[in-house]
A and B are shown apart, each in its own frame.
Chain A
């Protein structure tokens, strides 16, 4: 495994840099493409529904919930697609990110991780490393990688000058 000299997301004096290899950019872009296609195509699955959870679930108000979904769901998906497209463009350049672009990166990468984590049915008790013989070992490795990426992106947010 290649030694990483710098964190994958890093705040510098010129903005936030994505220190990602071509392979990392390709893999992240591929995952974002998958999510974009699923959202744009209106796919319905438990993992995708996790991105549009019910607002009134606990109040049991079905009418209010239907109204919320009618008014908000379309905008929620549209905003998410806009953020994904923005990040896809950013992955193709080496230009430093501004704070809005960093937030789009965080939201998009986290959305992919939430969907993947739901598919993998991860739990807090589950070990981080499932072992190479696990039938979904690659997906678990991707899930772990996305967590590392997000943690570095959060640290870049927190490192912003006050």
Chain B
């Protein structure tokens, strides 16, 4: 007999991780845009769109992928003093 799972926490390892950047009142909008371009190689248009999402919606998903990649992305954003976190998608 196999017990039915009792937890509603989804621990599937294949769920991707997402990296979020949160709005803060200190970092300049132009600086945040530049960091997105430098760290992720995004175009000016995409980086600006993400920066505006952060500014207006309070946060934006800036990258996703395996956990190890997400940790590196968060680290690089922290190097630039952006407020970044990671979590599993879904």
Contacts and interface: CB of A to CB of B under 8 A. Distances in A.
Interface residues of B, number: 23
A79 B74 contact: no
A41 interface: no
B81 A110 contact: yes
A139 to B, nearest CB: 14
B6 to A, nearest CB: 19
Given A72-B71, A107-B79, A150-B31, A59 B26 contact: no
Interface string A90-133: 00000000000001001100110110011000111010000000
A56 B85 contact: yes
B79 A80 contact: yes
A53 B85 contact: yes
A154 B25 contact: no
Give the size range of A's interface with the partner: 35 or more
A142 to B, nearest CB: 13
A113 B26 contact: yes
B80 A53 contact: no
B81 A57 contact: no
A27 interface: no
Contact of B26 (A76, A114, A158): A114
B34 A157 contact: yes
Contacts of B74: 55, 68
Nearest to B33: A154
A114 B34 contact: no
Contact of B84 (A51, A53, A107, A124): A53
Contact of B27 (A52, A57, A114, A123): A114
Contacts of B34: 106, 154, 157-158
Determine which residue in B26, B27, B38, B88 has the highest number of CB atoms from chain A within 10 A of its CB, and name it.
Answer: B26
Nearest to A148: B28
A150 B34 CA distance: 11
B30 interface: yes
8 contacts: A55-B74, A72-B71, A72-B78, A76-B78, A106-B31, A107-B79, A117-B26, A151-B31
Given A51-B81, A54-B85, A68-B74, 13 more contacts: A53-B85, A56-B85, A56-B87, A57-B85, A59-B85, A76-B75, A80-B79, A106-B34, A107-B80, A110-B31, A122-B26, A151-B30, A158-B44
